[in-house]
Structure 1
Amino acid sequence: MNNTQRWMGGVVLLGGGVLLAALLLKGKAELDHHRVTPQEEVAQVESREVTTPSSLTVDVETEKRLLEQQRRDREKAVAEQEARAAEFLAMQQQAEADAARKAAEEYAALNAHRMAQQSSDNIPPELVEDEQTKQKRLAEDKAAAQKKLEQQNHTQSNLTQQHDAAKKEAERKAAEEKRKAEERKAAEKKEAERKAAEEKRKAEERKAAEKKEAERKAAEEKRKAEEKHKAEEAKKKAEAEKARKLLEGESHKQWMVQVALAANEANADAIAAKLRAKGYKVTKSPTSKGVRIMVGPSKDREAADTLRKKIASDASLNMKSAWVNEWVPLDKR
């Protein structure tokens, strides 16, 4: 076996040497193929200059840059070939080292085996184990190993059962948590819907109340406007009736209740406003002594006197000195 290993190592070394030589020859051929002497470069440049009809179409600096680029490319190719050669050389050295190490290991194992055989041959007969005892010991060892294996299987089975039980318990807890989470989520959703419905109901109630209040206010405004309109219509009707009676030639003689004689127009307006607030019909008549404030007219003296008593008995007016006058409008005098 040692000779076989040496033979294999020799084959590896020979093959590596051949491969390395081939790579080196190939790299040299490429270098020879790409190598250009300075004289050849000058000749190439001169030939280009001669064949070019005009010096303006060829840039010398451009030619120089191209030559420099070609030189760098050649150097790069050489460096790559050298790197590959070094790599193959390292691989060959590693293969040689592996072959030598393996041969040494096999040689050491062979020597150990020979030493073991020699030592067993030197053991006295009385120390050699009886075959029956050996078989018994082997059977006991096998039984012990089988028992140990069974115990290990039993332990593994228990561990598996415990793992399965723990896994089932974890799954049960996870399912329980999921169910509780879903129930909480459903309850929260239901509560949110209830609150939303409550808010919607309250908003609708507020809106209905506001609408009702607006309708009430609108009805109140309408009623007041109608009352005001009716009052204006009644006032216009009364004035029209009065004018009609005057035009129809009714008696020019009327009775008025004079309640005060104001010194100026402002005082007269204040007294007239107080009487009008009580619902009385007030007439002002300027004189040389002041402005007379009268209530009426009445159709006869009795009605005028009844009106005077009513005004005099009203403590809020404080007009106890009112009296009845016979009065004819200025346009009828």
Structure 2
Amino acid sequence: MNNKQRWMGGVVLLGGGVLLAALLLKGKEEIHQNNIKHPELVEQVQQKNAKSDSGMVQLQGLTVDVETEKRLLEEQRRAREKAVAEQEARAAEFLAMQQQAEADAARKAAEEYAALNAARTGAQQSSDNIPPELVEDEKAKQKRLAEEKLTAQKKLDQQKAQQQSEADKKLSAENLKAEALRKADQERKAREKAAEEKKLREVEAQRKLEAQRKADQERQATAKAAEEKKLREAEAKHKEDAKKKAEADKARDLLENGDKQWMVQVALAANAANADSVISKLKAKGYKVVQSPTSKGIRIMVGPAKSRDVADVTRKKITTDASLNMKSAWVIDWVPLDRR
């Protein structure tokens, strides 16, 4: 009986070992398939492992398309999670199969033990009369199964820890790569922004320079126009002065060399009313009166006389007439306006 139970336990252990070996072979086959499908990942891992011995980590070349790189990283993460989930499912299936095999073996042993007790006759064949070696074998079996279960659990935990460690390392490398990509993108944007700002500054400087040039041109044109206006005004004034000088010279020539008439100037009225008053007095005495406007007032004269002596006699007559009250008369040689 004991040999039979030992044989059954050996069969169970052998079946569990076969299942474990099958799982390991299947895992290696999947790893090999993943290596074939994703050679670039294998190369990355090999480069990382080769350079980790020297304490140096080299980042791969930056991908130009950031979105494509993110998408690839996301697909790799999903594939890694799927592989871990499948491995955990296979490990759980293996444990369930091992527990089921143990339960079947225990159930079969119990059935055989019950049949053995039933075959025994007499009161001495009670359930307490289990052979000591059978009890001892059962305890050893339970202990061995517990140890094997603990060992399998430890191996599973180690595999999970190793897979998690590898996943963390790979995620760290991917994060470093993503960070490098982000920094490179930021630097590129900063360079583009600096170039744009430089271009704007150059455009603004060119605009200011153009505005300054136009302002200088307008200022020069204004100064030139003012200079030309000043020249025209000076020329016009020169012509006017020349004209006035010519007229003065002509008048002086007429006075000095022309047909002169001797007049007695009796007053210089400030306005027309005063002039009319003086003229009325003189005409009342029978004098011929001539008035001539000047820049200082209205010149009132008596005459003309044919000679200076005749004019002087008239002057004395006017100055001695108390009713006229014109004691400041004097003789002048005068040329009428129509003869000037």
Shorter-chain TM-score tier = 0.3 to 0.5
Q: TM-score, normalised by structure 1?
A: 0.37
